[in-house]
Amino acid sequence: MRLQPVQAAPMQEQVLQTGYAREIARSILDAMDWTVGGTVDGLVTSDEVAASRPAPYLVFHAMEAAGVTAVDRVLVAGDTPNDLAAGHNAGARYVVGVLTGATPATELGRHRHTHLLDSAADLPTLL
C-alpha cells in the first residue's frame, strides 16, 4: 500500500491502489486517519480485480475511479518490482520506483521504470 500523500496539481485525482483486500486497506487508512474523498480521492483493492500486480488491472480500475481514459495521464508509484511491472503493463506515462520501501535501489533499478525517487514526497516534482 502506498501510504505517503502527494500534493497534486489542481484537477488531478489521487487514487490509492493496493494489493491488500478492502477490509485490510480500510483498517490501515482508519489507523492513519486517512479518508477516501479526503486524503485520497479513491481506493482500489486487490479483491476488486481479476488479478493483482503485476497485472495492470489495479491501475485500470484506479483510472476508472478517477475518470481518466488515457494512460499518458497516469503516474504509478511503488516500492516493489511488481508495482513497477503493473505500471509498465498498464502503459502508464510515469512508472516511478520509490526507494523508501523494502526493495533496495539496485534491485528496483533493474526493473522497467521512468524514474527512481528517494521518497514519495518527491513525486510532486514530476507533476
Distance, in Å, from the CA atom of 54 to the CA atom of 88, rounded to the nearest integer, reads: 9
Burial class (CB in 10 A: 0-12, 13-18, 19+), 7: exposed
Taking the model in full, what pTM does it have? 0.87
DSSP 2-47: ------PPTT---EEEESS-HHHHHHHHHHTT--BTTTBSEEEEGG
Element (H or E) spanning 96, and its range?
strand 94-98
pLDDT in tens, 74-102: 999 999 999 999 999 999 999 999 999 98
CB within 8 Å of 57: residues ≥ 6 apart: 49, 50, 51
The yes-or-no verdict on residue 1 having pLDDT over 60 is no
pLDDT in tens, 19-57: 999 999 999 999 999 999 999 999 999 999 999 999 999
Q: Are 82 and 71 in contact (CB under 8 A)?
A: no
